[in-house]
Structure 1
């Protein structure tokens, strides 16, 4: 990277961290953002005045590519953008920021991808790693870019990485010792176009793994079961299951997580001794145990850390109880499959808040569950009409529209009875009404606390 000229695409958190890493390594940066209204002064405040960095805003021209050795793209930028094609046409290599970070990182690396459950699983693995590794790094799509920490890693470090499909699109040499795919269900089809493309990108997490490496896979996922039995897959497969007793792997039965291996069956943990709720979280626990075990953490330390772990913010997060009604924030439920898992985790009748940005995913499987579980459905955002029509198709008509989160929460409070559960699990992205799912969740919690 020393003395190389690198074009960094995107000025969000990921792009800024990538630029800083390149500068630290002695490179020169051209920072680009297509937003003509970008606050350039604010962006440049991230860097010292004497650093070798320039900023291009609006249109990227061929002259901007003169002497550029490498382009680093932020995960939020689709690869079919005209300026990306311009770079590709100029025969300039395009890396993702995850690849950039990997090239500079040291120590042991584990990586988790999947449609749902990534953040909880990665957070749990991070807490487990801390019991054994003094230098643990928890980063990636979880909110702390890998580029922000890569140069701080040493040969004694252990890094656990949350990797999105957007990040996997642009890997080259990226090679975790242990990888994990939690599940694959429809998501981001507005970007990947087909499920076949989406599945292929997720599976690429194992692209550079060898026979000495490990991949942890969900036995209950049809796509992953096929993938795990593929002869071309090099890493050793570790299965986990929430519905089948496995002869080799981890499985859940009667509130217990078991480890079957070498002809033995060992009960490891009673899930009632944990702070996590729902079968999907028991899958997350099994993922975390399997990854941690192959990263060298003793089982006794793994189980102890699992029992102490608290749920991650915005993932079926308990907010408060008011008048006998319990309120849960699952703003991270940004697709129907995640929202289904949250709904099934609720032990009683639900007053549900849903809706948001349209990612072009069908809502049928979610709406089919409403009858007998959901008392009232309060809808917000761009998809509210689509969801209302879908719910009606399956015989559910207790639907209300709200203009904002405050109105939605007040409607829920008015219609919920003692013993009910109010759940924000939108099945949609937050864009359009909120900048991200975290802000949506924070506003929901504020509204609930203000009741």
Structure 2
């Protein structure tokens, strides 16, 4: 689509909206950036957008009503939705009724970008799998990019891509709602469990959004799916593309699976050992599944197994997600500050393979902690609690028969208690099951503080 001199509305500011505006301006479009939040500062927004002719950028804030709305809608040729904006808003429905094409930021980038896309979605594990596949592609392709929900908008790099580029993209359900022609050469759905139902309203709509990742794929493309997930296994029976399953529970005739701790790739009648899970730096069955998904996608794209094997062994994991920090005095320290809710923190506990001293607690999001405490399962030898939730968690722990608890008033005090209680052969794990607000700006700052304290030992 040619956008030069056309009026294009970008709905929603934020990094995706700003990157979409920049791309459109570089392509000569007349851009209207619209955001319903009238408290935003237009000059601050404008300063963040590096595009073509900044005179071609109009910023509209607040509620659109009456003549102002009609005048704006009547002049538009295209609407580009930022992923954070719900697609069922009344104003969006009016745009549809007027017959306006409504794209997502991903569709815009895909239309103007070049090269092959390898796209990953799923409820959990997307970021680790995307980061790992990105590292594999960096070691294989001359031109590679990692984009999407991982924090780097696809539109920000689309015009830098070449015919031989490989774009590894983490896709959220919000981004997949608004694709039109987006067609990855290899796609993956890692797993599907209930999430974002406040946006999608029903589980069926959420599943449909995830499955959109493969809707434009053909028999020349490949979709990598989790055999152990009921939804994705069933989906594999209905896709047009080739299907490659991965499994952590059983041996597959064709696919990628675990056999006695060995990751094995079975493709085209050949079985090739990739590596043993003990050679990985990322812990836990969920991460072994992420590694298999990334390896399967790379193999389906034609990456040699030796490149895949080397990258898997070198990959250190994603920062703040069960991240190995250091071993000090025989104690191994792991930073799982991204464990900001009980479900995520359970994965941290399950990944531990030695007695563990655990730091928990933080901001209260009205979570229940019963399942998290139950997941301790003899692994957690001591729980050090801090933050607004510490009393609530302690009460839950005692109700479930876990008594070895210490309280701390500061993060530094909590860390010191862990060091004091950990013996050679133990692990200290920061996986709080709570958000960091109140003590820290975000989980990254909390994780960085933990790493600083470890490295100063």
Q: Distance in 2 between matches of 1:274 and 1:405?
A: 30
1:153 aligns with 2:153: no
Counterpart residue number, 2:236: 228
1:183 aligns with 2:183: no
Q: Distance in 1 between matches of 2:203 and 2:406?
A: 32
Cα–Cα, structure 1 residues 326 and 308, in superposed 2: closer, same or farther, change >3 Å? Answer: closer
The normalised TM-score by structure 2 is 0.86
**Most deviating of 108-117 and 401-410:** 401-410
Cα–Cα, structure 1 residues 12 and 429, in superposed 2: closer, same or farther, change >3 Å? Answer: farther
Counterpart residue number, 1:134: 142
Q: Distance in 2 between matches of 1:410 and 1:37?
A: 43
Q: Distance in 1 between matches of 2:214 and 2:95?
A: 27
Q: Distance in 1 between matches of 2:182 and 2:93?
A: 23
Counterpart residue number, 1:289: 295
Contact persistence 2:23–2:156 (CA under 8 A): yes
Unaligned runs of 5+ in 1: none
Cα–Cα, structure 1 residues 385 and 88, in superposed 2: closer, same or farther, change >3 Å? Answer: farther
Q: Please give the residue correspondences for 1:69-88 in structure 2 after superposition, counting only pairs within 5 Å.
A: 69-80=77-88, 84=92, 87-88=95-96
- 1:404 CA displacement: 6.4
Unaligned runs of 5+ in 2: none
The normalised TM-score by structure 1 is 0.87
- 1:332 CA displacement: 3.0
Choose 1 or 2 for highest CA Rg. 2
- 1:140 CA displacement: 1.0
1:52 aligns with 2:56: yes
What's the secondary structure of 2:20's corresponding residue? helix
**Most deviating of 414-423 and 430-439:** 430-439
Contact persistence 1:187–1:335 (CA under 8 A): no
Contact persistence 1:220–1:241 (CA under 8 A): yes
Q: Distance in 2 between matches of 1:356 and 1:343?
A: 17
- 1:46 CA displacement: 2.4
Cα–Cα, structure 1 residues 327 and 186, in superposed 2: closer, same or farther, change >3 Å? Answer: farther
Q: Please give the residue correspondences for 1:14-53 in structure 2 after superposition, counting only pairs within 5 Å.
A: 14-47=16-49, 50-53=54-57
- 1:21 CA displacement: 0.7
Cα–Cα, structure 1 residues 190 and 439, in superposed 2: closer, same or farther, change >3 Å? Answer: farther
Aligned pair partner of 2:262 in 241, 256, 270: 256
Contact persistence 1:371–1:396 (CA under 8 A): no
Aligned pair partner of 1:219 in 227, 232, 235: 227
Q: Please give the residue correspondences for 1:25-424 in structure 2 after superposition, counting only pairs within 5 Å.
A: 25-47=27-49, 50-62=54-66, 63-64=68-69, 65-66=72-73, 67-80=75-88, 84=92, 87-88=95-96, 91-229=99-237, 232-322=238-328, 324-354=330-360, 364-378=370-384, 391=397, 394-398=400-404, 405-406=411-412, 408-410=414-416, 412-413=418-419, 415-424=421-430
Cα–Cα, structure 1 residues 76 and 141, in superposed 2: closer, same or farther, change >3 Å? Answer: same
- 1:69 CA displacement: 2.5
Contact persistence 1:187–1:361 (CA under 8 A): no
> RMSD over aligned Cα, in angstroms?
3.1
What's the secondary structure of 1:17's corresponding residue? helix
Contact persistence 2:82–2:104 (CA under 8 A): yes
Q: Distance in 2 between matches of 1:408 and 1:429?
A: 16
- 1:10 CA displacement: 2.6
- 1:217 CA displacement: 0.9
Post-superposition Cα deviations, 1:366-393, rounded to whole Å, max 9, x if no partner, equal 3321241223445567776776665555
Contact persistence 2:280–2:312 (CA under 8 A): yes
- 1:428 CA displacement: 5.3
